[in-house]
Structure formats: structure tokens, C-alpha cells
Structure 1
Amino acid sequence: MMQSQFNRLLPHPFVSSLVTVSWLMLNHSLDPFDITVALLLGLIIPKLVQPFIIHTPKIQWSKAIMLILVVLKDIIISNIRVAKQVLGPMDNLHPKWYRVPLDTDHDYVNTLLAMIITTTPGTVTAGIDQERGDILVHALSCDDIEADILDIKTRYEAPLLEIFNVKQGDNA
């Protein structure tokens, strides 16, 4: 009974927390009024969007946090590398297009992989080709396409498969 009431009050606790923290950050304030508004929004907005949140996947949070740390580290390193490349001689740039084959057609895994690729400076996802089972990537500078593909698959795709408990070849 108590769990049922909790679920009705907070149907999506993560979304509630995200809304509350986002409101406080946007207002740059911890005044009692702003905290009250943030908490109210954190209760109301998830209830309003509940019909659109069909399924929240079960994920392995410890692995998700590790992947977030890897991605943040890669973003910092890539920012420095891209700045050096852009500010250096243009002869050192070797832009390339290549396709990263996907190990699954799981929607969450492939969408997040495409987002990670795009978020990391120096690479951008041009699209996910479901029929071919790959992601089209453009790299600002690439000397070894196979090494870049292997890096994406081992650093990002493999952990995403583990996070969502997906076996290679599984469908979403």
C-alpha cells in the first residue's frame, strides 16, 4: 500500500530529481521560494509526461557511471586534441567518413552510441542505418579508420551492451 502511494506521488523519481535540480540550477538560487517551486515542478512535470514515458529500462548503474566517466574524460582529451589540430597546420587534418558496424539493433544502445560519438569533439554521427546495421561517422582527422572503429566499439558500444544487459545481435 505504501509503495503504491509512493509510485503515485513520484511515478518517475529520476525525472523528478532531474527537474528539481535543473530548476534550481537555472535560477542560480537556493531561496525557499525557488526550492518550493522546484519541488512542485519535480512532482507535477513527471505526472504530466507519464503517458509519454512508456518504459524505463533496467540498467546497471555502476557500469553506467563508469561509462559516463570514460566519456567525460574522452571529451576533455578530445577538446584539447581538436584545439591543437584546428589551430595547427591544416595539412595535419585528415578528415574521413567511415561506418561503425553495430553489434545489436537495440534502440537505446545504438541511440546512445550515436550521441556519445557526436558529443566527443572531432567526430560526428551522420546517421544510423538500421538496414545496414551501422553508424555513419565523420572524423575531423583520422589516420587509422580500423583503430577508430575498434576504439568506439570497445570504449562505448561494449559498455552500453553491458549497461542494458543486451547480448550481441539482440533486438530492442
Structure 2
Amino acid sequence: MTRLVPHPLLSLALVLMWLILTRFSMGHLILGTLIALLAGWTVERLHPPRPRIRRWTAIPMLMGIVAWDILKSNISVARVLLLGPNHPSFHSGFVEVELTLRDPNGLALLAIIMTATPGTAWLEYDQPTGRVLLHVFDLRSEDDWQSLIRDRYERLLLEIFE
């Protein structure tokens, strides 16, 4: 059973999500099951490390901060789109941040947070130095972004994973 379905909870969640997003039919059930099995086998081949969560109470705090920051970023991106890119307060650019976080699960979660935030993109991570390169759509100050990532996200991720 484990070789056929290496990650049963992941596969079940994917099948259920597939059926929620599409109308339920036998064809969609079969297609969703095949996709879920393929995803489970792919994840098994990647050999991700099992997450060791050290402090569960920091997770809701991180979720709240991320939700608030995504809301603010949506407003900021909408402002730029409505005012136009030639507005004097608009400036996009690249930010390089040096991280102390080394846990692969924490880094993956930080990458997801950065990618989910409108107007930011995680471009590159240099493992030996711990530097991450981001592109920011509405860059006002590099120091603000470094502070945001280190003080708001990385601090909580270090509490959760390391």
C-alpha cells in the first residue's frame, strides 16, 4: 500500500480538491485520482525532510501576519495599477536579503509566502551564503523589505522550525 500510495493524506487531499474544483463525475474522480497518485510518487522521489515543528503557537501568528501583509500588498499593487507606472512614487527593483533560516521546510514556506504576496517574486536562493534575491513590484525602501522579511517572517519561521 505504501509503494502504491506513498503519501495517502496528500493524495486524498488532492483528489478532494480536484472534485471540489470540478464537477463530480466518474471521469473526474478517475482523473483526479491519477493526478493525486502521480503527485504522491513525485513527492516521494524528492525525499523532502519531515518537518519538525518546535513551536505550534507561532503558526497562527504567522498566518495572521501573512494575511495582513497580503491584503496590504494587494492594495499597494492596485494603487500602482490605478495611478500608472509613471507615477513618481512607483519604483520596482531587486532586494537581496541574507537569511539565518536554514531549515528546508522553513525556506520553502518563506518562498511560498513571498510568491503568494502580490508584487513580490522569489528569484534565487544561494544556499552557502543564505542570500535570497527578490523582485519587488513597488519598492519604496530596501531596508523596509529586509526588515519585513527578517523581523516578521524569518523570526517566526525560526521559532516554528529551528
TM-score grouping bracket, smaller chain normalisation: 0.7 to 0.9
Residues 129, 48 of structure 1: alpha-carbon distance in 2 compared, 3 angstrom cutoff = closer
State the secondary structure of the residue aligned to 1:92.
coil
Distance 2:151 2:12 in 1: 31
Ranges in structure 1 where 5+ consecutive residues have no aligned partner: 167-172
Residues 47, 138 of structure 1: alpha-carbon distance in 2 compared, 3 angstrom cutoff = closer
Identify which of 95, 109, 113 aligns with 1:98: 95
CA contact (8 A) 1:15 1:46 kept: no
Residues 137, 47 of structure 1: alpha-carbon distance in 2 compared, 3 angstrom cutoff = closer
Seq. identity, %: 32
Q: In the alignment, residue 117 of structure 1 is paired with which amino acid?
A: M
Distance 2:124 2:62 in 1: 22
State the aligned residue count.
Answer: 155
Distance 1:47 1:127 in 2: 24
Confirm whether residue 135 of structure 1 aligns to residue 127 of structure 2: no
Which residue number in structure 1 is paired with residue 119 of structure 2? 122
Distance 2:57 2:16 in 1: 21
Identify which of 104, 110, 116 aligns with 1:113: 110
The TM-score, its normalising length taken from structure 2, stands at 0.73
Ranges in structure 2 where 5+ consecutive residues have no aligned partner: none
Which residue number in structure 2 is paired with residue 169 of structure 1? none
- Output one character per residue of 1:25-57: Cα deviation in whole Å (capped at 9) or x when no partner: 12244x8x69xx48x949x83996274363431
Residues 154, 48 of structure 1: alpha-carbon distance in 2 compared, 3 angstrom cutoff = closer
Identify which of 43, 62, 65 aligns with 1:67: 62
Compare 88-97 and 50-59 and name the one that shifted more. Answer: 50-59
Confirm whether residue 45 of structure 1 aligns to residue 37 of structure 2: yes
The 5 A counterparts of 1:135-154 are 135-154=132-151
Per the TM alignment, residue 102 of structure 1 is displaced from its structure 2 partner at its CA by 0.5
Which residue number in structure 2 is paired with residue 21 of structure 1? 16
Return the index of the structure with the highest Cα Rg. 1
- CA RMSD in angstroms comes to 3.3
